Chains A and B, each alone.
Chain A
Amino acid sequence: MKVLVVDPLKCAGGKNCELACSFAKTGRFNIADSRVKIHFFQESIKFVPTVCMQCRDAYCLQVCPTGSLNRDASNGVINLNQDTCIGCKQCIVACPWGSVKLDVAGERIMKCDLCGGDPACVKVCESGALRFVEADEAVSSKQRETAERYMDIAQAIQRGGETHA
């Protein structure tokens, strides 16, 4: 099963993901209508992307009074049924990430559905901050990176030299 992996250390802040998301979902470019969001902390020059994590224990799904949020067992994605949604916004309150949002018109709930398995945001993210990969690959690639860094440090300590950690 593929998962969306978010790595804020790699995000270059280009906002391509936000533009691409709104375009895929609404046919227009409007950052305020994007499911993924990059938060800028200008004073410390930091930017951090946040997006729905399709949580295993999903509060949005649990709190929905009309059963409009349902998990697709085949891919783990929580989908929103706009036809039965009553717009009570309790899913927005419940989401600990703030990733369930209201659209810019203030009319509809916006919830990431991973574009049905081909997320538009990932296609335009060249920094590697957003990746859509098999769950085991997501973990193993991180493990490999850490393992390599760990070995470099261990060897440097053995040599009594300076580490670049």
Chain B
Amino acid sequence: MLKGFAGTILRVNLSKGAILREEINEEWARLYIGGRGYGGKLIYEEVNPAADPLAPENKVVLATGPLGGTTAPAAGRMMVVTKGPLNGSLACSNAGGYFGTELKMAGFDMIVLEGKSKNPVYLSIMNDQVEIRDASGIWGKIAHEADSLLRAATHTEARTMQIGPAAEKLSLISCVMFDGHRASGRTGVGAVLGSKNFKGISVRGTRGVEINDYEGFKQAVEKAYAKLKAHPVASQGLPTYGTAVLVNILNDIGSLPTKNAQNAYFATADGISGETMVKKTLIKNKGCGACPIGCGRITEIREGAYKGSKGEGPEYETAWSFGAMCGIDDISAVTKAHYLCDDYGLDGISAGVTIACAMELYEKGYMPKKDAPFPIRFGDSAAMVNLTQLMGSGEGIGALLAQGSFRLAEHYGHPELSMSVKKQEIAAYDPRGVKGIGLEFATSNRGACHVRGYTIAAEVLGTPVSVDRLAYEGKAALTKAFQDLTAAVDASGACLFTTFGMDAANYAELLTAATGIPYSEASLVQAGERIWNLERLWNQKAGFTAKDDTLPKRFLTEQIPSGPSKGEVNDLHKMLPEYYQLRGWDSEGNPSKEKLKELGLR
């Protein structure tokens, strides 16, 4: 049997109330590793691409990777894989916290949830004792309350997963939460569990994880730690200021989308920066399972209308989405909105960008005043926080906003004002000022996304190589390289931030020592490419075409009006054909027979 893996998958059929145990498929483990890769393969094989994402026939895989539960840096991640309801793609959404480590300790690599329960239920996993239990007393509770109740009902030291009220109401931008504070945020994965009447999981494990090669693993971990320690982003930037260290960095190069991307420079951006958080809200850092970086922020609001609230975050993306994107520089209001997203289980990126979209619709008169419960204008922090609350609870206009910016903008006849690709909202990087990230947004299999290929590392932070952010040349190859390695890292169970320092050789060494499967740099990256192509194939069956590989019109045609990147647009067509070619796809974005054969996909 393979080491590194716990070896067992739990399959829970909620319609029948049946719990089955399956062995990890060794062939799939070799080809797709675990996490996003193995989970994606399972969905590829078992879920009809034409399925209604919110029907019982959809399935959800909650997956760790083979490095989970070990000291491999930050490898305790959870990946939630399913047919995503926001856009129907093969969606996967990653979260930190401690659940992944605990699940491995309990002896399971993954949980597959299928069917639909008649009544609200949760799953209790106390080592090998697994039970489906009534959740009627937890249904309706916000995330951290559900976390407390789940632990009270099972074990004080258990780790939990839960959905919040937004997912229960089938919001298409709802999350799966872990430990009440960490989110598998994107693609609306929470709603799939909501549709199954599945509230959460409590897991406690003391069975432990075996690995293949003690000495080899020990050395591989030491090497990885040395690399992370030597990297300024992993050892200084992220621990000191959290991910929001990026606010000033991106704004200084005029690439911080502002006021629904009508601009890309926000004069008062420092108000929502990581530096300001350290002064005003930070209590201390938090690291997820096995994390040596600790970018997480435990914070409290110490001034203004929201004084007294305590929680985690914001991180860079939500500091931006509720901040610059809404024209707001008030860290207290932004922090409050982030807390509300955790409470209700909303994707903080999509929620903020949707509010920004509502603000533009309102200011331009496309949203009638009668529809708005109060004026919805850029820069109005109270309106922003109140809208977040309404989205979470699904009340009034909040119910429409909770379906994301694309449906909102379409409802008012102006879909071009939704800053989304494949209906998913963009992240905090203006593709006009940083060209490669535009190609990443356009081609990401789950819709606009920064963490499927974080070209910002090279284009802005200069790591592992420094490239000109405004150049088009070389961006296709850069994007492909980042996407393929990232897919493999996502499959291993490690956090993407470990790529600030670690390279393909480090992950290959760790995986080889953990599992006994010999990985090289090349075979690891090829596994990533295989995962990418598998997702692409499934998405094509679900109806996606090359037409969907694009950007919001604004980024293609409207010049950035002022700031350091003034005058820039994103000429996506200068990168996309080359990208298809490098991928071994035809001009319509279809993977060629040769490429599929090479990857063992045909």
Contact = CB atoms under 8 A, between A and B. Distances in A.
A13 B209 contact: no
Contact of A16 (B157, B283, B290, B310): B290
B577 interface: no
B354 interface: no
A30 B294 contact: no
B148 A43 contact: yes
B294 A126 contact: yes
A126 B293 contact: yes
Given A42-B147, A124-B292, A127-B287, A28 B98 contact: no
B85 interface: no
Given A19-B71, A42-B147, A45-B310, A28 B210 contact: yes
Contact of B286 (A12, A28, A31, A123): A12
B290 to A, nearest CB: 5
B511 to A, nearest CB: 15
B208 A42 contact: no
A104 B294 contact: no
Contact of B208 (A14, A104, A124): A104
B391 to A, nearest CB: 24
Contact of A23 (B71, B105, B157): B71
B4 to A, nearest CB: 10
Contacts of B310: 45
B6 to A, nearest CB: 11
Contacts of B257: none
Contacts of A13: 286-287
B101 A15 contact: yes
A30 B209 contact: yes
Contacts of B151: 42
Of the candidates B287, B289, B294, the one having the most CB atoms from chain A within 10 angstroms of its own CB is: B287
B148 A42 contact: yes
A14 B284 contact: no
Contact of A28 (B208, B239, B285, B289): B208
Interface in A20-49: 20, 22-23, 26-33, 40, 42-43, 45
Nearest to B151: A42
Nearest to B293: A126
B71 A12 contact: no
B312 A45 contact: yes
Interface in A91-142: 104, 123-124, 126-127
B284 A9 contact: yes
B287 A124 contact: no
Contact of A29 (B69, B228, B291): B69
A12 B294 contact: yes
A30 B207 contact: yes
Interface residues on A, range: 20 to 34
Interface in B123-181: 144, 147-148, 151, 157, 179-181
Interface string B430-442: 0000000000000
B208 A32 contact: yes
B374 interface: no
A3 to B, nearest CB: 23
Given A29-B209, A45-B312, A19 B157 contact: no
B70 interface: yes
B263 to A, nearest CB: 34
B211 interface: yes
B366 interface: no
Contacts of A27: 214
B105 A31 contact: yes
Given A14-B289, A14-B291, A32 B298 contact: no
B311 A29 contact: no
A26 B101 CA distance: 18
Contacts of B291: 12, 14, 16
Contacts of B76: 15
Contact of A30 (B74, B98, B105, B222): B105
Contact of A14 (B222, B292, B298): B292
Given A14-B290, A14-B292, A126-B292, A31 B214 contact: no
A15 B298 CA distance: 16
Nearest to A21: B71
B241 interface: no
A45 B298 contact: yes
B278 to A, nearest CB: 11
A123 B71 CA distance: 11
B115 interface: no
Nearest to A33: B208
Interface in B288-332: 288-294, 296, 298, 310-312
A108 to B, nearest CB: 15
Given A45-B312, A124-B225, A22 B208 contact: yes
Contacts of A123: 222, 225
22 contacts: A10-B284, A12-B287, A13-B287, A14-B74, A14-B287, A14-B288, A14-B290, A15-B101, A15-B290, A16-B287, A16-B290, A19-B290, A23-B214, A26-B208, A29-B104, A31-B206, A32-B208, A40-B98, A42-B180, A123-B222, A126-B293, A127-B285
Given A12-B284, A13-B286, A43-B144, 16 more contacts: A12-B291, A14-B290, A15-B101, A15-B289, A15-B290, A16-B287, A16-B291, A16-B292, A20-B71, A32-B208, A33-B208, A40-B157, A104-B206, A126-B229, A126-B294, A127-B285
Interface of B: 69-71, 74, 76, 98, 101, 104-105, 144, 147-148, 151, 157, 179-181, 206-211, 214, 218, 221-222, 225, 228-229, 235, 239, 283-294, 296, 298, 310-312
